[in-house]
A and B are shown apart, each in its own frame.
Chain A
Amino acid sequence: MLDPFAIVRAIATLAAAIVLGSGVLVWYTRDALAPAGGSVWRRRVVFSVLVSAFAGAVATGLGAVGAAADAAGAARFSVNGAIVGTFLFKTGVGRIAIIEIGYAVAACIPAVIAWVTLKKSAISDLSLLSAAVIAALGLATFPFNSHPVTLDQQIAGLSASIAHRLALGVWLGGLPALILLIGAGPVPDDTRRLAAVILRRFSRLAMVAMCVIVVTGTLLTWFLVGNFPGIIGTEYGRLLILKLALLGGIFVIAGGLQRHLLPMLEVKPSDPTFRSYANRVKLETVVAVLIVIVASDMASLAPPEHENIVWPLPFRLSFAATWAIPWVPTRFIGGHVLILLGLAALAFSLMPSLRPAWFRLRPTTGLTAGIATMLAGSALAFPAVSVQAFPDTYLATDIPFAATSITAGLKHYEDNCTPCHGVSGHGNGPLAASMPDTQKPADLSAPHTALHTGGDLYWWVTHGIERTPMPGFGDVLTDDERWDIINFLGAFSIGYQARIIEPKINSGQYWLAPPDFQVTDETSNTNILSDYRLKSAILVVLFSCTQENVAQETARLEQLLAARERMAELGAKISLVASGKICEPLRRLATGKILVADRDTADVAATYGLYTRTFLNRKMDVVRVPATHAEFLIDRSGYIRARWLPEEDNSWSDLGFVETQLQMLAREPPAPPPPGPHDH
């Protein structure tokens, strides 16, 4: 249900809109108000502005109290003065609320002056305009307390939001003034000509305002929602659809007024036409108020970026997953040609002015043929690019793609999945032998394609896969544990693709994201690996200590420590990952000199182990890769770009080789941040 807080905020917005829109309309038409009917209308409008200004001040104040209650986690509007005081004076949000209240109260003063000086129309009109300007400032303040401030495109978002609200104010706020003009009883004779002039001028204002609303609304949707699943899969998106549908209603009403009724009124201002016009303006006002209420409710919700998407359809459209399939491009493009042909037939049938001479079909036949062609085209085009989808398809997790999660997932895999998917993860567990060929467990080392999102995998792990032996683990594993498995599956699969990573940098290879982990830096600060993105390249060195090789591992560390200043000059830091008791002297040696992974070190080692498979080594038969020494070069943009496995070759023994790679990396421009393991 609607939040009472959203209603209060809607009232504050509506009141400010009336002060703005009515004030602007009176100012814009002031030269036409000389006839007797003009002063009657002006008096009514000034009174409505006066009442709105005071109502706005009260609602804005109440809104701040509601926001304070929300901030304190108390029930709506049940807070004491101390909490409201802290909210207003100790928080940035509160200080902006003070400015809003200030404008709302300040708008009352010129509104009172406009009412008192009604007889002196010049002073009254100027006061009304002042009230309108102050109300506009108040409307423009609100976005600083809402979603746009947190956008990456903050300035564009704020500007769009401010323009959106001002345009809304000019249009919506003028509607009540129109009702006072023609909707409050029969229109007297001395007002008829005047009314036609005012309605025409409002129509011009509203036209401009509507264009601004549509353009800025589109921009804001782009910024705040960003993708189609966010529109139909979240509450915010569904409210947006509702808002757009209401706006569609407004266009129908306003279009009818402008195209038919306004010209009729200008030719012959008769009572029935005025009545009809007034009724439509009233309807338009009701719809506009609903839009503001919906928008206020949206403002109290998180935008889709922060919300879980619940996908309502059993399919989704994906070019990435389908375009390479034979005949899909042909079907898709052919289908669209049919849709366009159908649309043309519809247009020719409905609008005789567009109809070419060769189009001989009767209108009803043309309509039927057009609709049939469009349906046929849709049936050809859309199923071709559709893939199966589940409610969780666009669900993502807050659990980062980090070593602790991946190793937890690996353990859950070992505990729950090996009977079917096997200790190797290739789908060859002991139970797999008895399953029919069409229902064999998946080979989890296969590349994850665009056909399945991380959310799809999560759905299957949770609910199982229909008509296959794959059971659901929703009752066995917690939500976090299932996401750990998804993170593990991402690392496991991409570890197989990473077999092609060489000791040498290949340019443009931005696809392999390193799992995150915590490090302690040279000055004992704790950071995570991803904190170094765009700051520094990182050489992650995985030590694997046994009694036999500890001397060799120590020698390598000493070699790297000696080169750390040279590496720093080339924009790189070294990070040590050395787990286990035998490696302890190495950790001590490195502490304070380079980055040291000293939390969950075994997890980090096990995770990066997944990235040490090659086409030569024999690490294919187990999911958990036995530890070996390995080194990974992560570029400044946050991608694994090269790796060295001493058991395969000896290239990085010479640090000069590594330096050459770092010099190459230093010349590269920054790349966009790495995608998640299941993003396509």
Chain B
Amino acid sequence: MRRAIDRRERVLLFYLVVLFGFGLGISGAAAHSRLVKSDPSARAVLDKAPKELKLWFNEGVEPAFAKVWIVPAQGAQIPLTSQGDSSDPRLLKVALPDNLPAGPVNIGYHMLSVDGHTVDDKLTFTVKAP
């Protein structure tokens, strides 16, 4: 009986070592939530520069930790100010600068959603030259 128990324990231990090896091989990945729609929409081509960018997510967002910025073709990122919307927890409103140049506008954002996960993504729209 004793020997049988020992053997079973060894089998179990082996099983665990194999499983744990499998576990170590798994690497962490960034959480990813989604932008449902935006105004202007991603990849829109606009006749004139918009004053505001609205981002709607698939989950409620926490405006206190929202970061939105413009990635210019050259130079440092330009941070933008954003605020939530009391009537729609999934909406984030971003004020855009007045002097938005013609051409593609690359927007980056980092968002904390209500389930505690963060979202990092980008979108681009284009302002036509006058």
A residues sitting closer than 8 Å to B (CB atoms) are 1-3, 6, 67, 70-73, 86-87, 90-93, 145-147, 149-150, 235, 238-239, 242, 245-246, 249, 252-253, 256, 272, 276, 279-280, 283, 286-287, 290, 294, 297, 300-302, 306-307, 398-400, 402, 404-405, 408, 480, 518, 526, 528, 599-600
Contact = CB atoms under 8 A, between A and B. Distances in A.
Given A283-B13, A302-B32, A528 B65 contact: no
Contact of B23 (A3, A147, A294): A294
B62 A92 contact: yes
A149 B9 contact: no
Ordered nearest first, which 5 A-B pairs have the shortest CB separation? A90-B64, A91-B62, A71-B65, A302-B31, A71-B112
B116 interface: yes
B28 A297 contact: yes
Contacts of B20: 290
Contacts of A252: 12
Contact of B64 (A86, A235, A242, A245): A86
* Residue among B8, B45, B112 with the highest chain A CB neighbour number at 10 A: B112
Given A71-B62, A307-B32, A145 B15 contact: no
Contacts of B13: 283
Chain B interface helix/strand/loop/mixed: mixed
A287 B16 contact: yes
* Residue among B23, B28, B59, B117 with the highest chain A CB neighbour number at 10 A: B117
Contacts of A302: 29, 31-33, 117
Interface in B22-56: 22-24, 26-29, 31-35, 37, 39-46
A588 to B, nearest CB: 15
| Interface size, B (range) | 35 or more
A404 B28 contact: no
26 contacts: A1-B27, A2-B28, A71-B65, A73-B67, A91-B64, A93-B112, A149-B114, A149-B115, A150-B58, A150-B59, A150-B113, A235-B26, A235-B27, A239-B26, A242-B26, A249-B12, A249-B16, A283-B9, A294-B23, A297-B28, A301-B31, A302-B29, A307-B29, A400-B37, A528-B37, A599-B46
B7 to A, nearest CB: 12
A246 B12 CA distance: 11
Nearest to B113: A150
A245 B22 CA distance: 11
Nearest to A253: B12
A253 B9 CA distance: 9
A92 B37 contact: no
A93 B35 contact: no
A275 to B, nearest CB: 10
B110 interface: yes
A73 B12 CA distance: 41
Contacts of B129: none
A456 to B, nearest CB: 23
A235 B28 CA distance: 8
A91 B65 contact: yes
A599 B27 contact: no
Contacts, number: 122
Contact of B118 (A71, A145, A235, A526): A71
Contacts of A408: 43
Contacts of A238: 26
B23 A73 contact: no
A297 B31 CA distance: 11
Contacts of A145: 115-116
A579 to B, nearest CB: 14
A482 B120 CA distance: 22
A399 B43 CA distance: 10
B19 A246 contact: yes
Given A73-B67, A87-B65, A242-B19, A526 B12 contact: no
A410 to B, nearest CB: 15
B118 A242 contact: no
A276 B5 CA distance: 8
* Residue among B13, B24, B31 with the highest chain A CB neighbour number at 10 A: B31
A239 B20 CA distance: 11
B115 to A, nearest CB: 5
B9 A280 contact: yes
Contacts of B12: 249, 252-253, 283
A290 B23 contact: yes
Contacts of A72: 65
A469 B8 CA distance: 57
A91 B112 contact: yes
Contacts of B33: 302, 306
B64 A272 contact: no
B23 to A, nearest CB: 6
Contacts of A71: 62, 65, 112, 118
Contact of A147 (B28, B40, B115): B115
A3 B24 CA distance: 11
A297 B113 CA distance: 18
B19 A249 contact: yes
Contacts of B2: 272, 276
B44 to A, nearest CB: 6
Contacts of B64: 86-87, 90-91
Contacts of B41: 402, 404, 518, 528, 599
A150 B26 contact: no
A545 B59 CA distance: 42
A404 B44 CA distance: 8
Nearest to B45: A600
A3 B28 contact: yes
Contacts of B35: 398
A255 B118 CA distance: 41
A273 to B, nearest CB: 9
Contacts of A256: 8
Contacts of B59: 150
Contacts of A149: 114-115
A93 B118 contact: no
Contacts of B15: 249
Given A245-B19, A398-B34, 6 more contacts: A6-B28, A92-B60, A146-B115, A150-B113, A290-B19, A404-B43
Contacts of B9: 279-280, 283
Interface string B91-130: 0000000000000000000101111111010000000000
A91 B116 CA distance: 10
* Residue among B24, B43, B65 with the highest chain A CB neighbour number at 10 A: B65
Contacts of B26: 235, 238-239, 242, 297
* Residue among B22, B28, B60 with the highest chain A CB neighbour number at 10 A: B28
A407 B62 CA distance: 35
A70 B16 CA distance: 32
